[in-house]
């Protein structure tokens, strides 16, 4: 099973802060130019193309497999934007499938996890702060302080 890269949806921007539409993310074994697969979902059963082509908002779903990665990011015309090495798949915990919100939804039922802020909760890939952005009702219920927008994605990683 693959685990997620630092956030559920990676979004890349150019030097001016605009989305890197059509950008290309090449993934390699850390310290090399040997391609290393990433995956389209947490299940790790379908590999992304390498390079991963970013959508019009500069986003991609990139889940990491076992090992350490080197990312090489280029724009749509193959001009190097940056390289970063030794991205480690920490392999901590279990990532649950995303729950898609309805307009104004605040309460989410998730798979059981250990309560007390020991889970990583993300909204559209942005980690939320325990007892600020969300609270825990029980080991399967998360309540957000404000209603979410229709289509927002909530993910939980049990640690």
Asked if pLDDT for residue 25 goes beyond 90, the answer is yes
For the stretch 50-94, pLDDT in tens is 999 999 999 998 888 766 789 999 999 999 999 988 776 655 556
- Residue 67 has a pLDDT of 66
For the stretch 97-123, pLDDT in tens is 778 889 999 998 887 877 776 677 888
Give residue for tokens 């920490």.
Answer: 90
- Residue 91 has a pLDDT of 56
Q: What is the mean pLDDT of residues 18-38?
A: 92
Asked if pLDDT for residue 14 goes beyond 90, the answer is no
pTM exceeding 0.75? no
In the chain, beta strands by DSSP E: 3-11, 24-29, 38-39, 52-53, 59-64, 68-74, 80-88, 94-95, 99-100, 107-109, 119-123, 126-127, 134-138, 141-144, 153-158
CA distances to 1, 127, 148, 154 from 107, rounded to whole Å, are 28, 17, 10, 11
Asked if pLDDT for residue 33 goes beyond 90, the answer is yes
Least confident of 34-38, 77-81, 109-113, 146-150: 109-113
Question: How far, in Å, CA of 113 to CA of 92, rounded?
Answer: 13
């Amino acid at each position: 099973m693959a685990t997620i890269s630092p956030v559920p949806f990676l979004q890349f921007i150019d030097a001016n802060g605009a989305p890197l539409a059509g950008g290309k993310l090449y993934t390699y074994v850390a310290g090399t130019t040997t391609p290393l697969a990433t995956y389209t979902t947490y299940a790790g059963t379908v590999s992304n193309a390498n390079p991963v082509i970013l959508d019009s908002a500069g986003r991609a779903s990139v889940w990491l497999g076992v090992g350490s990665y080197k990312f090489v990011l280029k724009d749509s015309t193959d001009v190097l934007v940056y390289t970063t090495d030794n991205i480690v798949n920490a392999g901590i915990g279990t990532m649950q499938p995303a729950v898609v919100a309805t307009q104004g939804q605040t309460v989410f039922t998730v798979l059981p996890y250990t309560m007390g802020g020991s889970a990583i909760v993300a909204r559209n890939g942005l980690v939320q702060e325990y007892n600020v952005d969300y609270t825990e009702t029980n080991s399967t219920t998360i309540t957000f302080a404000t209603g979410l927008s229709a289509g927002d994605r909530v993910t939980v990683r049990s640690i």
